[in-house]
Structure 1
């Protein structure tokens, strides 16, 4: 009895000690009050009191228990030295800003050349994909966010269109059908966290769960022996790691498990140095795992801090697609002659040997895409200025594409979380709210999804996922978010979005005076632009009739004098009383690239630079930091917190601030996080008034203005300052 009483007493003392420790941590995290405050400084304990903020339970939970999602030490989260003054440079000189952005893509070229010199792991992956094709097994490419869209692109822009082309070549198809099977189009599955609905916008709570990666792997029927390629921009995405570990468990269930065999089929592709990732337990589980092949594609910081949709996803898309294309070429070269291979797009170099297809040779041609983009920047600058001016005047844009649809769609949708914009409008919106809409050649919404995906829309069946979410997700915040997002992830979501040329779109949401229409054409679509009755011609005519400005981005394999002639032909067909026309030719050779990877990469890099520069011109970029990021998952909450803390402390440390207001103890991470969560709650409750207001900008201005005035500035007053003059001019006024 005495022993038991002693144990209870010890337990009680331990509990008291834990509580005391937690309170001490809270005091430091949220108050910034250490044992001794620096002499001559204003104590930091008063910030939250000044603002009238009590840290929410969710903020306290994040600071104390979500340290594994506070990722500001990662290389991809650092500021790139080449783009440090990006926001200001773009506003002063659009072309100079675009060149600054494009200069960071040289990091991709350098890394790709390095990989080409030592392609061992990539060759292993190519052999695995080749064996899967010949063995009737699946190739499962999985990602989240930008890399999830990469996975969709693998399936819907590269794999399916290519095999449809092979089947259309009856002579070639008869020779290869017996080797690859009639259902070869279904063999590569590109999946993303949240399935097809997540293409539109993020589904909160999903990304942060290892569990959903496992569930989707099972849902798509992936089995031991299938090739699984998991792609994560930073190397720390929970859902992607969950996929890799679930695939590994299938192998480990075999009594004769051998890691040497599983790593022939399992691949983890990422973009941060291992030593930066090892402190994060979930990343360490994969990096230290001998049964998974790691493909590290680190290029360095992104052009916009943390914006891994740019260089990280560029290199991952190019490398993974090159691996798959190499494997396909090797399979076909065993059955087809040089003429047939050339007809399918592999070029005259193809021969009947395995050596005909070489991963390294493909990698070395990345520079052709980048050089084409760099040469097009002067023309692109004019488009960037027109689009930024349209949004500044309260107008809208319409993007149209066919072969380039997925690349265009990805850039369009990724603007929303990156720059805190409204996501794509649903058909239920009575009037346009999102700045951008995307159209393609289709008569109905269902046809548009098929044109986009190459198959019917594929969502998540709630009955399959709800039970595991309810019983296996221990964190109450993540469980609640995941269950809420599950309501928006089913097949029925397809009906909410219409990208077709149906009359409801062209008449009800068509271009008007002051709007912008952008057509993106990719080889061999050059001829469609001038062909009467083509969809390209129809959309260009709609722009002219409506008085909108128009632009044509031509990603073409034509060279020399053929390019100016093509541009002139496009110009000659433009008829408008009011609108201007900009033509942006991007010359990239298509020879030897059956999937069209290089041209799609050129379109991606061009559009990424363009959309980033547009937002910078609108004041949505401060320096090269993502101050308008939408804090929609744990990683982005961490990034948003760090941005608030960094920008506030940078301002407090300037000579101008110290002279005017004296020295002050730096704002702590916990304080910044408490203010962020308060901003999230406030803006969530005022959607009409807040509009596209960024929580980060709102929090920075509210903190600094309160400290400047030595009073708690009301939220409404801070919101007014965010709207005018905006964060960048506000920070400039303090210097």
Structure 2
């Protein structure tokens, strides 16, 4: 292995004397480098959109979105997956984050886990992958053995395989049906891929899951109408969303939310005048797509 051939492992000429800078100069340099990340993603937008389309198609056919990675990349995948149920009301088994080393690796560095290709095979066997699943490998270098093994298993199962990497011509890029290669350049601190590479991965993951959920009708306008009122903050957010979407008072929103138990159903009832079980029946008819359900009653 020659790390010098990996873009994220090369030295950044703009930061060679960063250890001689003041605190303000250091954070200014970091900020300037960070601004290069969204620019680098721009070139990959068509592929990101293509992968979103495959994710939507898969989820509409009872498939799953599965992220796989090690270290920072794995943690970011788990983070994105774990945010989908409270934000968009997805079942916990629909968007899955797998990290080399398991849950322990979320809090503790298990650096050797990324080399365990055999464990990746076992982890994929547990998932029982299908042709409707979309598996996305994440790695700055594009060469992580655990992630490569998982991607190969997914290919064998007929699943769609994507990747998010930060180095051109990697093995993961070659394996993926839809590779996303974000060339955000050398890190501020050589090889510290939790920085620019990690930021780029987080931004792309945000795009993939958010765009897919919008396409699936889990957003009305720009309101997260599938939010789960599972704590005080989210309950208040649900009420505020109903107020905004249905143009009603907070009291009316609270009553509808209590009656129907869901933000989406409450809005449908208040906007269209539908009552009782018919509200849920219409939502089911349009696969939970609120805008389509409302338009059907107009």
Question: What is the TM-score of this pair, normalised by structure 1?
Answer: 0.30
Asked if the contact 1:141/1:230 (under 8 Å) is kept, the reply is yes
1:345 Cα deviation from its structure 2 partner: 7.1
Partner of 1:175: none
Partner of 1:83: 15
| Cα distance in structure 1, aligned partners of 2:177 and 2:48 | 13
The verdict on how the C-alpha distance between 1:287 and 1:323 changes in structure 2, with shifts beyond 3 A counting, is closer
Asked if the contact 1:138/1:189 (under 8 Å) is kept, the reply is yes
The verdict on how the C-alpha distance between 1:321 and 1:209 changes in structure 2, with shifts beyond 3 A counting, is same
| Cα distance in structure 1, aligned partners of 2:224 and 2:112 | 43
Q: 1:269 aligns with which of 140, 148, 164?
A: 164
Q: 1:194 aligns with which of 93, 101, 115?
A: 101
| Cα distance in structure 2, aligned partners of 1:134 and 1:160 | 16
Matched residue of 1:205: which SS? Answer: helix
CA displacement, residues 135-165 of structure 1 (integer Å, 9 cap, x when unaligned): 1111111111000101111112x3122134x
CA displacement, residues 106-129 of structure 1 (integer Å, 9 cap, x when unaligned): 2202212333xxx32111111111
Asked if the contact 2:88/2:224 (under 8 Å) is kept, the reply is no
| Cα distance in structure 2, aligned partners of 1:200 and 1:106 | 28
1:132 Cα deviation from its structure 2 partner: 2.1
Partner of 1:217: 124
Q: 1:329 aligns with which of 209, 214, 219?
A: 214
Q: Does 1:113 align with 2:38?
A: no
Return the index of the structure with the highest Cα Rg: 1
Asked if the contact 2:77/2:205 (under 8 Å) is kept, the reply is no
| Cα distance in structure 1, aligned partners of 2:54 and 2:154 | 15
**Mapping of residues 216-365 of structure 1, within 5 Å:** 216-251=123-158, 265-274=160-169, 277=170, 283=171, 286-289=172-175, 292-332=177-217, 340-344=220-224
Partner of 2:276: none
1:204 Cα deviation from its structure 2 partner: 4.5
| Cα distance in structure 2, aligned partners of 1:303 and 1:142 | 25
Tell me how large the CA RMSD over aligned residues is: 2.3
Structure 2 gaps of 5+ residues are: 232-236, 238-298
Asked if the contact 1:163/1:184 (under 8 Å) is kept, the reply is no
Matched residue of 2:209: which SS? Answer: helix
CA displacement, residues 83-102 of structure 1 (integer Å, 9 cap, x when unaligned): 1111221xxx2111110111
| Cα distance in structure 1, aligned partners of 2:42 and 2:180 | 15
Q: Does 1:160 align with 2:67?
A: no
1:191 Cα deviation from its structure 2 partner: 1.1
1:301 Cα deviation from its structure 2 partner: 0.2
| Cα distance in structure 2, aligned partners of 1:288 and 1:342 | 36
| Cα distance in structure 1, aligned partners of 2:5 and 2:161 | 27
Q: 2:75 aligns with which of 133, 149, 157?
A: 149
| Cα distance in structure 1, aligned partners of 2:179 and 2:222 | 33
| Cα distance in structure 1, aligned partners of 2:55 and 2:167 | 25
Matched residue of 1:83: which SS? Answer: coil
1:341 Cα deviation from its structure 2 partner: 3.8
1:300 Cα deviation from its structure 2 partner: 0.8
Matched residue of 2:115: which SS? Answer: coil
Partner of 1:537: none
Question: What is the TM-score of this pair, normalised by structure 2?
Answer: 0.70
Matched residue of 1:191: which SS? Answer: strand
1:209 Cα deviation from its structure 2 partner: 2.2
Asked if the contact 2:88/2:213 (under 8 Å) is kept, the reply is no
Asked if the contact 2:33/2:188 (under 8 Å) is kept, the reply is yes
Matched residue of 1:236: which SS? Answer: coil
Matched residue of 1:240: which SS? Answer: helix
Q: 1:127 aligns with which of 53, 58, 65?
A: 53
| Cα distance in structure 2, aligned partners of 1:82 and 1:345 | 45
Q: How many pairs are equivalent? A: 228
